[in-house]
Chains A and B, each alone.
Chain A
Amino acid sequence: MNAIPVAVADRFLGLLALIALVATLAAVGMLVTRRVPSWAPRAALPAAATIAVVTTLGSLYYSEVAGYPPCVLCWYQRIAIYPQVVILGVAAWRRDTRVWMTSVPLAAIGVAVSAWHVAVERNLALAGPCDPDNPCAIRWVEEFGFLTIPTMALIAGLAIVALTLLARRTADVRAAGTDRPSERTPA
């Protein structure tokens, strides 16, 4: 018997995914409007690292504890997310906002695969007949009617991209000497 019932883990990870979605939208909003609260820069990289850790642990829980075998597309997403634990962890510790150059391309690859996986889940014509061993279209989890495992991975990838870029953006603004880009001294 699992130490943590799968239904509880599903709900827990689903709720965290919703929080990550809100964080993503907030980060995108800050990037677009260029209005960044003073606490956001400090939180961006640790939050991105935390999302990478939670996503990795969630993925391992589903395959090693719940017994859901990862499909081919799941493995590609794992390749994109697992290294982020170290990359973003070290960057958060060292406050290295240049990490976006490594983290964003890797996360973007994961986001592209997740988006395709979500499309396969939603449009079964893309999936073909179900492989008895490892079907990509199977929905092991469906929290709140839409949060499947690849959907959660998609949100995690987008959150990492947005938060890492937010940290970078903030560093750019600081380098310019003000939090309000419109007030920058012309070059």
Chain B
Amino acid sequence: MSAAKPAANRGRTVILAVVGLAVVAAVGAIAVLSVEEQASVKDLEDIAGPVEVVGDPLPPLGSDGSADPLEGQGVPTPTATARTMADDEVVLGGDAGVGQVLVMLAHWCPVCQQEVPLLTEYVAANGVPAGVELVAVMTGLDPGRPNWPPDEWLEREGLNATVVRDSAEGTLMRTFGVNAYPAWVAIAPDGTLVGRRTGLLDDASIAALLESAAG
């Protein structure tokens, strides 16, 4: 009897192991069969654009959201030339000649994904002040991260803004001295810096930023 008990235990153990393996195999089969082939998507080269910069970059702003939004106010901004998806040139900062609010958006950033519908709704309801251009910068480009490609995301959201492409290296982020997403840069019509913010902004903050860029 004492010899029979370990044998019975071994038998039960084997049965449990076989059941476990069968479950894993079944789950694997379900996973393979239930996932559909994804259509080919755009590459990094399809989105990242050439960016030309004239002038010194702005000093870096702290990335923890507690940085002084007025840090660097009045400093002349560099002139950056970026391109839209249609390859049209857009001048940012410096010599643009109009007030601008740049919003740097990363497609994979959950805060950006939350901000874009709020911004879209705000612009649809209130528009932007006369003489101010709202520019959305597709940056933080990484096809391996979620919500790629960013142009299709912004198109889906229906954001009424000029949308430009940052370089693969994030040249526009560095040029305007921001290092978190979303980042906001308000520039006066004379090309000087009005202020910078990072993180999720509510309607009142968006309105204040747009007004501040009007000069």
In the bound complex, residues from chain B placing their C-beta under 8 Å from that of A132 are: 63, 106, 140, 170, 173, 179-181
Assembly CA distance A7 to B36 (angstroms) = 9
Closest to A38 in B: B12
Are B35 and A5 interface neighbours, CB within 8 A? yes
Assembly CA distance A67 to B181 (angstroms) = 21
Closest to B27 in A: A15
Assembly CA distance A139 to B112 (angstroms) = 13
In the bound complex, residues from chain A placing their C-beta under 8 Å from that of B112 are: 130
Interface string of B159-191 (1 = CB under 8 A from A): 000000000001001000001111100000000
In the bound complex, residues from chain B placing their C-beta under 8 Å from that of A135 are: 108-110
Closest 4 CB pairs of A and B: A129-B180, A12-B31, A130-B109, A11-B31
Assembly CA distance A26 to B20 (angstroms) = 16
Assembly CA distance A130 to B104 (angstroms) = 11
Interface, chain B (partner A; CB < 8 A)? 9, 12-13, 16-17, 20, 23-24, 27-28, 30-32, 34-35, 38, 63-65, 106, 108-112, 114, 140, 144-146, 170, 173, 179-183, 198-200
In the bound complex, residues from chain A placing their C-beta under 8 Å from that of B65 are: 128-129
Assembly CA distance A140 to B142 (angstroms) = 12
The A-B contact count (CB < 8 A) is 91
Are A137 and B16 interface neighbours, CB within 8 A? no
In the bound complex, residues from chain B placing their C-beta under 8 Å from that of A39 are: 12, 16
Are A128 and B27 interface neighbours, CB within 8 A? no
Closest to A135 in B: B109
In the bound complex, residues from chain A placing their C-beta under 8 Å from that of B170 are: 132
Are A130 and B35 interface neighbours, CB within 8 A? no
In the bound complex, residues from chain B placing their C-beta under 8 Å from that of A140 are: 145-146
A12/B27 contact (C-beta < 8 A), A124-B200, A132-B181, A139-B146 known:
yes
Are A129 and B199 interface neighbours, CB within 8 A? yes
In the bound complex, residues from chain B placing their C-beta under 8 Å from that of A21 are: none
Are B180 and A139 interface neighbours, CB within 8 A? no
Are B30 and A15 interface neighbours, CB within 8 A? yes
Interface string of A1-41 (1 = CB under 8 A from B): 00001011111100110010000000000000000000100
